[in-house]
Amino acid sequence: MSTLIIHHDDCLQHDPGPGHPEQIRRLKAVLGGLEGLRKLEYLPAPLVGEEQVRRVHSDSYQQWLAEMEPSDGRVALSESDTLMSRGSLAASARGAGGLCFAVEQVLAAQAPNAFVASRPPGHHSGTDFSMGFCLYNNVAIGARHAQAQPGIERVAIIDFDVHHGNGTQQIFAADPSVLFVSSHQMPLYPGTGDPDETGVGNVLNLALAPGDGSDVFRTAWGQRGLPAVDAFAPDLILLSAGFDAHHRDPLGQLEVQTPDYEWLTREIMGLADDHCDSKLVSILEGGYDLQGLAEAARAHAAALSTAA
C-alpha cells in the first residue's frame, strides 16, 4: 500500500489576491515538492457533506459564509486578511472533505496513512468564526467524522504550525475525548496558546520563543508533546501540518530546519504504531515561503511513505 496524497484542483480557485501570503502558488509548491517520491498514491478530494460540517460549525456560520462569497472580486470576513473569492467555499469544502475521505481510507486499511494537500488552512476557524485565512476547521471536521466511525473514540490532534491553532482549541477545549497538542511561537498571532490554557486537561500548549530552533523544538516535543500523546493512547492521530516554523518563513521567527519535520513525523508515526495500528492522517496548514514549504512538505511526506 502507498501513502495517500489527497488533493483537488478546486483548492487552486481560492484567490485572496496579489501579495497575500496564502497564495495559490503555495499548493503548487507542495505538490511540486512531492514529485519523484515513491510509494505515494494520488486521489481526488471529495466535497465535504453538510452533516460532516455541522458536527463542528453552526448552521448560522455556514449560512453566513455562503452569503459572503462574492461572484467576483474579493470580500474580507472577520479580519482584513481573511478573504473570500469566488471558489473559496469549494476550496474549503475540498479540504474538509478530503480529510474526511482520508480518514475513511486509513480506517478501512486502504492506506497506512495520508496527507491532504489543500488550501486554505483551517486551524484558526472556530465553531462560528473565521480568522487567520481559515474558513472551515478541517482538522476538527475530520476528528468529529472519525469519532462517528466504529471503534474511534479518542483522537489526538497534533499541531506544529508556527501559529497557535486557536480555533481547534476552542472547539475541543471542553471535550476530553480529543487531545490537542500544539507547538507555536509566542508572542505571535493570534495571541493565544499560553501554557496555562489546558482545557479540561486535554490541551497542551508548547510555547516557543522567537529564535528558537531545532534543539528547543525537538526538546519540547520529545520531553512533553510526544509523551502526552503516548499517555493519551489515541485511536487515531490527526496532524495540523503547518510548515511556517521553518527558518525561511516570513510570518514567524522560529529557526526550525527541514530535517526537524522528518524527525517529528517519524516520532509521531511511532506513536501511531504503538496505539492505533499506524492510523495517521495529516493536512496542510501554514507555510508561506515557497522553497521552505516545498522542502518541509517533501520531508514530511517522505517520512510518511516509509510506512507504505
275 labelled catalytic: no
Distance set, CA 103 to CA 115, 141, 214, 279 (Å): 10, 11, 30, 8
CA dist 27 and 118 (Å) reads 7
Cβ neighbours of residue 108 under 8 Å, at least 6 residues apart?
A: none
How many angstroms separate the CA atoms of 258 and 294, rounded? 10
| Active-site option among 7, 8, 57, 124 | 124
Which of 203, 159, 167 has the alpha carbon at shortest distance from 185?
159
79 exposure class (CB count in 10 Å sphere: 0-12, 13-18, 19+): middle
Q: Which residues contact 5 (CB under 8 A, 6 or more apart)?
A: 34, 40, 41, 42, 43, 114, 115, 117, 301
135 touches 301 (CB < 8 A): no
Pairing between strand 40-44 and 3-7?
parallel
Give the catalytic positions in this structure.
Answer: 124
